[in-house]
Amino acid sequence: MKKLFLSAAIIFTCINAVHAQRYEYEDGSPAGSPRHHGGNSREGDLRFGAYFAPTIAWMHPTTGKSDNGLYSVSSEGSKLGYMWGLLMDYYFAENYGIATGFNLNTSGGIISTKYVGPNTSGSTYATSTVYQTKFNYNLQYFEVPFNLKLRSDELGAAGIRIFGQLGVTVGFNIARKATYTVQYSDSTGTILTEQTGNNEKLKGTLAVPPVMFGLNVGGGAEYPITDKMSIYAGLFFNNGFAPDATNPANYDMGYNGSFKDGNTRLNNLAIRIGIFF
C-alpha cells in the first residue's frame, strides 16, 4: 500500500509539472490573462485536479435465491465509505471532454443468506452444510474511470458551469475483509455450530474477483476561484455490473460446507468535493 501511495504521488507531481508548462494560449495570451480563469478551458486543454468523496455503499443481489436454489439471499442495508482520487480532463471541444484519472474506493455492504433446501427443520440437518450466514464486507479498489464529460457555458458573471458525465470504471481489488457469522452442521448432521469473525481477510482463490467493472453517472457545478483554479461539487452514482462481486462458494474460512449468494452487485453513491488547478 505504501508503494501504491508513493507511485500516485510521483505520477501526480509529474503531470502537475507538465500542466504548469502550459502558460500560453494559441494566440499568445498568457494563462493568467482575464480570458482564462478557473474552469474556462479551451479545446485541446488538459486540466488536473483532486477530490475527496464520502460515500454510501451497498450490495444488491440480482435474485432472491442463489443459482442452485438452495439459499435465499437478501441485502442487510448500506454502509458508509469514502473515495479519493486524482483527475485529468482533456477537452476535445470547449464544452466536451474526456474525464479520467484514478480513485481509491473503500466500499462494501452486508449480505445474508439462509438455507432453504432439504432438511431445514427438525433435529436432523443435512451433513456439512451451511445453514445461515451474515457477511459485512469491507472492500477496497484501485479504480480507473473513463467518462465522457459535457458542461455548460459560463452562467452569469460568477463563471459557474454545470457539468454531467457518463462512463465506465475498471476496479482492481486491493483489500477484502469481512465481519461474519456462519451457522453450519457437522459431518454427522446432528450439531449446528456457529462461527464468527471480526474484520478478517477473505481467504480462498477468487473469493472476490480481482477485477470489477462499473457504470457511473454524475453531475455537479464548477466555480472559479482564481485565474487558474476552480472548485467543484457533484453527486455521482456507480453501479457495479460485472462480474459477481463475491464468490462465497470459494471461501476458505474454516467452517464445514459452502454456500452461494444471488449474483451480488456492488454500488455506491458519492458526494464529491474537489479542485482543478
Write the single-letter amino acid at 58. W
Encode the chain (277 residues) as per-residue pLDDT tens digits: 444 444 444 444 444 444 444 434 444 444 444 344 455 555 568 899 999 999 999 999 999 999 999 999 999 989 999 999 999 999 999 899 999 999 999 999 999 999 998 876 656 788 899 999 999 999 999 999 999 999 999 998 889 999 999 999 999 999 999 999 999 998 888 888 999 999 999 999 899 999 999 999 999 999 999 888 999 999 999 999 999 999 999 999 999 999 999 899 999 999 999 999 8
Distant-in-sequence, close-in-space partners of 135: CB < 8 Å, separation ≥ 6:
110, 111, 112, 178, 179, 180, 246, 248
In terms of Cα–Cα distance, which of 42, 30, 80 is closest to 269? 80
CATH 2.40.128 fits 2-276, yes or no: yes
Residues 28/77, Cβ–Cβ less than 8 Å: no
CA distance 5 to 120: 49
| pTM metric for this prediction | 0.83
Cis check: omega of the bond before 243, within 30 degrees of 0: yes
Q: What is the domain partition of the chain in residue ranges? A: 2-276
What is each CA distance from 113 to 60, 120, 168, 184, in whole angstroms? 13, 13, 30, 12
Angle at 148 between CA 143 and CA 151, to 5 degrees: 120
